[in-house]
Structure 1
Amino acid sequence: MLEMVGGSFQPLLGFTLLLLCVKPGLGSSIGEGDAEVGCIGRERQALLKFKQGIVDDFGILSSWGNEEDKTDCCRWEGVQCSNLTGHVVMLDLGAYGYNESRYLRGKISHSLLGLQHLRHLDLSGNNFEGESMPEFIGSFTKMRYLNLSSTHFFGTLPCQLGNLSNLNSLDLSGNSHMSSENLDWLSHLSSLTHLNLNGANLSKVIQWPEAITKLPSLIELHLKSCDLPSLATPSLSLVNSSASLVLLDLSFNQLHTASIYPWLFNFSNSLVHLDLSYNLLRGSLLGAFGNMVSLAYLDLSKNRLGGRIPTHFSGSLVHLELSNNFIRGSIPGTFGNMTSLASLGLSRNRLKGKIPKSLSSSLVYLDLSGNQIQGSIPDTFGNMTSLRTLCLCSNQLEGEIPKSFNNLCKLQTLELCRNNLDGVLAKNLLPCANDTLEILDLSRNRFIGSFPDFIGFSSLTRLELGYNQLNGNLPESIAQLSQLQVLNMPWNSLQGTVSEAHLFNLSKLQHFDLAFNSLLTLNFSSDWVPQFQLTEILLASCKLGPRFPGWLRSQKGVGWLDISGSGISDVIPNWFWNFSSHLYRLNISNNEITGIVPNLSLRFAHFAQMDLSSNRFEGSIPLFLFRAGWLDLSKTCFQGQFLYCVQLVVELWPISTSQITYCQESYPTVGHDGKE
């Protein structure tokens, strides 16, 4: 006896555990009794013929063979037999049971028809690209479990699958090149409890709810990314069918009308998990969702829903996601009565008013970002001691960070950016979360005071304090943040010197932004080789000069470099043009950089943006510069045989020569291909 949970068989008896759940390293003979019956010869031959059509690059089927020590097919990899009869009852060669890089490919042979006692077939994750899903699979009338997900089949879903009347679980997901114009064949699968067609093209299946309605035992239904059409008329209610559906995933489709709601509400007493995200649903949120008494998971995000948030939802709701809609009004205080609610997402809507003082103390995840919420952050947030993620960015919040945040000992993400928050940041900010905090974003507010002390924040990966009014020195203790990947603190009033000691232990650092802290000096030795490899370096207006920063030479994958206005009055080194081959944005303007810009083929990333203005280069203007997507050479003198003081070159590719002017000698005409 089996119970289906989460798309897989869950055993109710220890015997069943061996038969249908466990995937041992080698096949085995299983069943009732102690006597062991060996492999049946004709079934062994059927498996060997199947192997002949398979390309086994990774030796997955190396235990299959005719040799003396390999004659018992019940001991082969992925094969299981019945102890009573010796018949093969399971063939489990799903690639997901192996290392991700191991899979079979080739063609599925008709020889498998010799396994007429097969109950469990799993070929998921293998590569049968270009092949049609075999119609003969519909001949395995004893089959209870069939998983052909992510097998790269092409063509039409075979209606012969409707012959598998004993089937409990069918997973054909991840085959995006397969389609069906109707699902009538499903009506014969009266024992089906789990159905997953994620990714199949069902855009022409107009009355798909009616096909689903004919499955009286269905518990889980996955139709994600199936291009499901919206219904022209309200779908029918259930007829002669038990409303047993527990999980329904219709996300990433084209549903845009409310015609589906009457059908959904037939499952008000059974649905636990409902996902309608990434559709085109319009209109107001229906209060009827609140009548789904068993609902624990509801995701309506990424739609076009408007109206106000209903004041009543199921008391059993654990996860509610309404982000990226057009919902207006205020946040209902009734959320405070939902004692089971752990995750609440209301971001990117049109919510106004204040944050209710009483939100559920059971919340683990709360995202209110991207609205028009005003007022202060309630001090009662300190009662949410289970909170791990709090996102309040891009609102109109004012006041200080509540001192009660010191109670949030499990906090992993705190994002308060783009508000009007102010006050002095405590030196020991969020001390209780120093072991758990991974992301802290307080950027674009009005915080003042010196840089907080982050000693002991061993898990911090992202620290963003930019666009505030912080002053004082950057403490060397920041080097203790060994997991840090993002360090962004632009547009403050930091001062003093940043040395190698500040960055010594930051081997995982990728994004480094101290731009427009004009009192900050970066003092690194010319031969310093940092432990990190940066992808973004933004140090505009910091004091880097007068020498060109030699440590940049060690950075191999920089995409964005801004060292403008940094007091460099040096010859640009030759290695810089190799360093810059990955750049998509470069700004070295407002320095006194000299030297020759070589006439290179385009080494910058396609459509690179380059600002070389306000420098004093030598030689002629290299033609490859004009192949950039955005170029500024204003107030730059190229001194060679002639003096070129370019007044303005700012234009999207292709550059029009009419946009290029010079104060003295005219430059040769440059075409769109960069040739004279």
Structure 2
Amino acid sequence: MNHLSKDAPGAENLFRCLKQLRFLDVSTNNLTGSISGWLEDLSSVSHLDISKNLFSEKVPESIGKLSNLSYLDLSSNALEGELSEIHFDHLSGLDFLSLGSNNLKIVIVPKWMPPFQLRGLSLHACKIGPHFPTWLRSQSKIEMIDLGSSEIMGKLPNWLWNFSSSVTSFDLSNNKIIGRLPISLRHMNTLKVFNMRSNQLAGGIPDLPASVQVLDLSTNKLSGPLPQDLEAKEIYDLLLPDNFLSGRIPTYLCRMAFMEVIILSNNYFSVSRLHTIDFSRNNLHGEIPSTLGSITSLAILTLRENNLSGNLPISLQSCNALSLLDLSRNNLFGVLPTWIGDSQQSLIYLSLSSNRFSGEIPWQLSQLHALQILDLSGNNLSGPLPLSLGNLTAMRLHNDLQANGGTYSIFKFTTIYDGSLPQVSMYIGADGSAGGILLLTFAFNSIDLSNNHLTGEIPKEIGALSFLLNLNLSGNHIDGSILEEIGNLGSLEALDLSWNDLSGPIPSRLTNLTSLAFLNLSYNDLSGVIPSLVQFATFDETFYETSYLGNPNLCGPPLHKRCLQHMIKHQHKIDMETYLCAIAGFAYGLFVVSAILLLSSTARKAYFQFTDSMLDEFRTAVAIKLNRIKVGRGQSMENRLVCSQNSITCYELEFRSPA
């Protein structure tokens, strides 16, 4: 492509000097003016292409004198006027003719017999109608026909479908053709592109040739079901919207290996048996079509790992048989709609992770009594955790899920451990008897709200989810303390509260989580001694040391920071309790002895006799001791203090050595 921009008269002398020119292609430029006055001088030209310019005025009759022409392309200009058989009478060698996208009118008598045999004809947007050109019947070698937007009306002649076995592309779009597509259509064995969109065709779609790759019959009045079988195994574009087609969507569409586009919108298809749509891990883009809401039998919808954007279509609330909805890893945005909780009572698996959803988590999600997996991680959600999360019935009860008089369908699954989370093969159906196989990597009875902007404290109501297996609230701005109620989650296997603003001690009740296999409390502001009893004692120190990193006020194993100050305070607490107990015991004993002495004269007499005797023995022992000291002045004494390792009581021992 060049950008030549000059009037044709300025080029007349050049073309007249090139009378022996056989090949002329000046397409896709900005040439203007008339083609009359110089075109007829190119008497030797066989290939003439002046398409996609700005030539105007009429096509001269003298073009018919270029008897050597085999290729003529005047399309996409501003040519006007009428063309008759006079323009073509001497073009016996013409092989390709393109006059489309001009303002031309083709006026040829019905009985005209052209002197040529075309292989390609494009008269798109030329005025040909109202009748189909009968002279085409003589073109037995033709391969490409484009008569779109040519004002043809009425029925097509029967000979059209049988006259040539070599047609590969047939375009009669945007006309006013009526009638039915013939059964003989299937015998056009070389047909690859068949375009009759925007006409008034009626009746059903007959069997198609096995060679068809593009079929566009959109915006007609076609009715009935699709063909029972489609022999066109290499079809990649199937466009049938805006008709009156009905019946079931055939399953063979899923087996078309080359299929790229299927559009069946605005028809009357029945999809009562369609329960699974899995378009995950593709390159789909744009918004989720609202027409999905018409598939009320849908049980599984997974569109994860695409490039979908926009809001969730409100029409999906009509799919109230959904058990699994996975739209993760796309570019969806907006607030989480409340209708998910209001209308999707069969939902077991909800994953909207790794999108751009914002706003607060709607409390209506707690109405999903069958929900076993909730994954909203990796979004821009904010606000507090809903207090009503504790109402998720499936995570409060065992999987024989019966509550509120209703029975909920449960996944049938097998678990294959691969990494930190199990890979689950699920078999699910709306009625429990039919469904689809999907592989997901996740834990059942799981809540993952990680990597958002959630604030506030962990609601104590979450402690009611006694069958919760996985709780991940990491990467938020949650503050307050770790609740004792988390110790009620007896089935919990994985707990991740890292990268938050939690403070205070680690509750000792967490050691009662006997199923806990993964724990991450790192990068908070926790303090105190790390519990080391029961389940915590089974953790590998090397691995689980990372579970507490970023909490400078934590101490004790598996961290290398000792808890000396904490231990002293703890010991002081124990000693104070011991002293108080001793004082209370002494006071009680003194009270009992005093009461006995006051009330009994016999007891008083015995008591004083005992004390007198003890004093006499004490005085005697002291006298003996003093006497030994005087006798052994020549001997030396060695005194040592020996204290018990586990007591504050000390004993003084004497060791006597010879002088």
> Highest Rg: 1 or 2?
2
TM range (shorter): 0.3 to 0.5
- Relative to total residues, which structure has the larger helix share, 1 or 2? 2
- Relative to total residues, which structure has the larger strand share, 1 or 2? 2
Q: What is the TM-score normalised by the length of structure 2?
A: 0.47
